[in-house]
A = this chain, B = another copy of it.
Amino acid sequence: MIIELVNTGTELLLGDVINTNAAWIGQRLAALGLQVARQTIVPDGAAIREAIAEAAARADVLLITGGLGPTNDDMTRESAAELLGLPLELNAEVVGHLEEFFRKRSRVLTETNKKQAMVLRGAEVMPNPFGTAPGMYIPAACGEGKGLHCAMFLLPGPPRELKPMVENQVEPRLRLLKPDLAGRTTLYLKVTGMGESDIVDRIEKSLEAMPGLDLGYCLGRGDVDVRLSGSSEIVEEAAALVRERIGDFVVSEDRRLVEEVVVDQLKKGAQLVATAESCTGGELASRLTNVSGASNVFGHGFITYANEAKSQHLGVDPALIAQHGAVSQEVAQAMADGALRVSGADYALSCTGIAGPTGGTVEKPVGTVFIGLASRGESTEVRKLFFPGTRDRFKMLTTQAALEMLRRRLAGLPLP
């Protein structure tokens, strides 16, 4: 089954908007064991027709995003109708949806907007609860008069409208078009603390030997999703192998990020964590508080960017800083211990390092970081790590490593 994707929109070609839809659709199809054979962006206007005609001649299934709006530039609907030689007809149900949508917003439905209720003869309407333009599914048979045999999905461009429509309307239809997808399942094992090439070395040879398994790697920020697709038996067998080989590094099997896992772990134990950050400047706490419900497990965070702040708020001895430097095992430990004591939390994480681009020395180059983990009744652990590169990468990898230290502690796993 050859699938092509056409994204329409001048804003995508100008770089005003990044085409995240293409990657997202690619991931959704990969989970079904399908792959987009070609993706094209064309500007609003007449170029849409040309791109649709070319793609429809090559593909079995064509997904088209955007160009369903009310203006003259929005030509997806008209282009498909012309290509397939089918009329557009006003759909009463869609008119009703539009009237309701506008009434709720105290606006009047204009004739221009009514254009969005025009539906190709023979197409199935895919409702759009989050916007005005409905989607359309045009079965392959509709193109027979023109010698085409390509099923088309016309989809809205805005991600919040597109995503639910793909999940709820497109994917079930793809499963019907290709019945051997029915028994197919996909599992993502999120791995952190290991580079992609290390993961490949540890698992790929054995997994490649499993017939019918589709294996992929999806790079995240500080983690890698190992994608296993195939029959549920083969996926389970492959997952068991991954767990056996690198299970300690698997954060979640449902794409949850390490901060989500940590918040859940703490919630289950009714425990609290505090943070004491120097080089990460609040990013560690920000990641924890990205998780809804973080307020149940996190109450106090300190950003002690200046040395005197470390002493004033966390009780770090100025002599310790003078002797070892602010970026040191000793100060990381004292920061974590201080945050634990001052906050009354059960766990405290600390980070002190050199984010760069300046401030590095020969012994402590840019990228050097110490991460501390204190907890009630256990001795404080400090890890020294090295994340050279950009400031953004440094903060991301340092906070990832800190959260992973806590995840391992809460799961009773040793550090790698």
Q: Which residues of A are at the interface with B, using a C-beta cutoff of 8 A?
A: 10, 12-20, 22-28, 30, 35-43, 47, 51, 216-219, 275, 277, 280-286, 288-290, 292-295, 298-306, 308-309, 312-313, 342-343, 355-358, 391-392, 395
Contacts and interface: CB of A to CB of B under 8 A. Distances in A.
17 contacts: A14-B30, A15-B25, A16-B218, A17-B23, A37-B43, A38-B42, A38-B51, A275-B303, A281-B301, A282-B303, A283-B289, A289-B355, A294-B305, A299-B304, A299-B309, A300-B306, A313-B313
Contacts of A303: 275, 282, 285, 289, 300-303
Nearest to A217: B16
A306 B273 CA distance: 12
Contacts of A289: 280-283, 303, 305, 355, 395
B301 A282 contact: yes
A155 B141 CA distance: 41
Closest 4 CB pairs of A and B: A281-B289, A15-B26, A301-B303, A299-B306
Instruction: Count identical subunits in the complex.
Output: 2
A305 B299 contact: yes
Given A15-B27, A18-B20, A298-B305, A286 B283 contact: yes
A51 to B, nearest CB: 7
Contacts of A20: 18
Contact of A36 (B13, B280, B295, B343): B13
Given A15-B27, A39-B41, A313-B300, A391 B305 contact: no
Classify the interface of chain A: helix, strand, loop or mixed.
mixed
B302 A302 contact: yes
Contacts of A357: 292
A25 B18 CA distance: 11
Nearest to A292: B357
Given A295-B305, A299-B309, A301-B303, 8 more contacts: A14-B216, A15-B22, A15-B24, A16-B26, A16-B218, A18-B19, A290-B391, A292-B357
B43 A41 contact: no
Contacts of A10: 35
A358 B292 CA distance: 8
A14 B280 CA distance: 32
Contacts of A313: 300, 313
Nearest to A16: B218
A302 B304 CA distance: 9
Contact of A219 (B17, B23, B290, B342): B17
A264 to B, nearest CB: 16
Given A283-B282, A306-B295, A395-B290, A15 B23 contact: yes
A46 to B, nearest CB: 12
Nearest to A54: B54
A1 to B, nearest CB: 14
B26 A37 contact: no
A12 B26 CA distance: 8
A281 B285 contact: yes
A43 B30 CA distance: 14
A30 B42 CA distance: 16
Given A281-B286, A286-B281, A301 B305 contact: yes
